Amino acid sequence: MARRTKAEAEQTRHAVLDAAERLFHAKGVSATSLGDIAAAAGVTRGAIYWHFRDKVDVFNAMMERVTLPLEELVHAAVSKTEGHALAGLRAVVQATMQRIQNDEQVRHVFDITRNRAAYVAEMQPVHARLTRTRDAFIAHTQKALEREAQAQNTPLLLPLEQAALVLHTQVDGMIHLWLMTPAAFDLPSVGIAAFDVAVRGLGLRPQAL
């Protein structure tokens, strides 16, 4: 019985997150209340409070079930790829773009965090979380660029910190542009071509796994 209760609790949690994702995407985060989420999930507000402190906690959990696995992939790619670390980062960037284009849940979460969440006072913890994620990606990119420049015995054409910002801006900008106009281009192919152009602009040869 206890095992079934635990399973049911987990099912409720997923139902709440699924409902929140749908409503945040359809209405925006500010216009969605916990009552709206409870009604859409078919649960009580009390059931939501059993799992989450508030709407920000719901938002973070919804975001992290998509973004945490991607963050772990970036870390693993930079940490474990021997020699050409940039090739590992490139592969993760391309795989992420493919998931954004082909996986509705991933696409919705990226769209919500970029286009449907006003980062007012109540959402500052979310903004801080996104800032940490961005900073971690830039740090991993710096590490990959530094190792790649050493492997190719080629100096970067920009200081390391600026070079990492260039790549981050290229990746994030392509994702943002595609989310605004999904029919305009194929994100994985155009996005990774733009990534390679940016790498060449930094003085390196793009490397693929």
- Express each pLDDT in 73-115 by its tens digit: 777 777 665 667 889 889 989 999 999 999 999 999 999 988 8
Is 21 part of a structural domain of the chain? yes
- Look up the pTM and report it: 0.85
Q: Domains in the chain: how many in total?
A: 2
Is 207 part of a structural domain of the chain? no
Cα separation, 178 vs 186, in Å, equals: 8
Confidence of residue 1 (pLDDT cuts 50, 70, 90): very low
Q: pLDDT tens, 118-157?
A: 777 777 888 888 888 889 889 989 999 999 999 999 999 9
Mean pLDDT for 20-39 is 94
The mean pLDDT value of the chain amounts to 89
Mean pLDDT for 49-74 is 88
Residue 209: predicted pLDDT: 60
Residue among 21, 207, 19, 183 at smallest CA distance from 116: 21
Is 2 part of a structural domain of the chain? yes
Residue 119: predicted pLDDT: 74
Same domain, 44 and 58: no
Polymer length in residues for the chain: 209
Give the domain extent around 3. 1-52
Cα separation, 162 vs 22, in Å, equals: 37
Same domain, 97 and 12: no
Same domain, 76 and 116: yes
Residue 46: predicted pLDDT: 92
Residue among 177, 158, 209, 155 at smallest CA distance from 110: 177
Same domain, 129 and 162: yes
CATH number at residue 35: 1.10.10.60
Same domain, 130 and 27: no
Considering Cα of 131, then 110, then 7, then 58, what sign does the dihedral take? positive
Domain boundary among 34, 52, 70: 52
In 10 A of CB 201, how many CB atoms?
Answer: 14
Cα separation, 112 vs 59, in Å, equals: 10
Same domain, 8 and 23: yes
Would you state the structure tokens that stand for residue 129, as one six-digit string?
Answer: 């979380």
In terms of phi and psi (left: phi > 0; alpha: psi -120 to 50; beta: otherwise), the region of 207 is beta
First to last CA, the chain: 49
- DSSP state letter for 185: S
CATH number at residue 139: 1.10.357.10
Residue among 157, 71, 198, 111 at smallest CA distance from 190: 198
Is 148 part of a structural domain of the chain? yes
Rounded percentage of the chain residues whose pLDDT exceeds 70: 95
Residue 4: predicted pLDDT: 53
Residue 34 near residue 46 (C-beta atoms within 8 A): no
Close Cβ partners of 182 (under 8 Å, ≥ 6 residues apart): 101
